[in-house]
Copies of this chain bind each other. A is one copy, B any other.
């Protein structure tokens, strides 16, 4: 009961201010003292791990689907749901700081992206790739990365509502360039791609396998 209140307060506060906030601030948000937090979670790191585990579980069970617009849209979608918004923010902070959750979270993102892309390929909407997993990973990393960079450059939101506003602004700004790139590509011809494919099949020197 109280432990869950502390955990929720920690998720909210860590999401807003990052993991460098003190235990006492989290404790005050939950209406308790710092000692009690340690009593329930062992240490600050224990609290962090508990938050990680809880958020990961919720996100896993929420089965966030990567819709069109890339993986960034998945976070946006999650943030639209009032209840989940703090966890979306927390996840971003977690990616920013690295650590246990970050890796699993990105793995999940890549897997979801792959799944969605393959569904698109199967239905004839999306072009097949020579390296589907690599492409999914590439798109997931780029999408989440740009989101991460954005919140680094705009650290000014103090409420979860501001976070939603930021996400909508991002969406507005990137939709046209993304649709252009996804629909028409960037290069006029295929020369660079063909040159590269030729290169990797028949490298000019060295380690060709027998």
Contacts and interface: CB of A to CB of B under 8 A. Distances in A.
Contact of A188 (B98, B124, B145, B153): B124
Interface of A: 20, 68, 95-98, 102-103, 106, 124-127, 129-131, 134-135, 137-139, 141-150, 152-153, 155, 173-190, 192-193, 196, 200
A126 B173 contact: no
A131 to B, nearest CB: 5
A75 to B, nearest CB: 13
A191 B109 CA distance: 26
When all copies of this chain in the complex are counted, the total is: 2
Contacts of A153: 95, 98, 102-103, 106
A138 B150 CA distance: 11
Contacts of A189: 125, 183
A129 B186 CA distance: 9
Contacts of A177: 129, 131, 134-135, 137-139
Most buried by B among A135, A153, A173: A153
B131 A176 contact: yes
A180 to B, nearest CB: 6
Contacts of A103: 153
5 contacts: A129-B177, A135-B177, A138-B181, A141-B149, A148-B152
A193 B187 contact: no
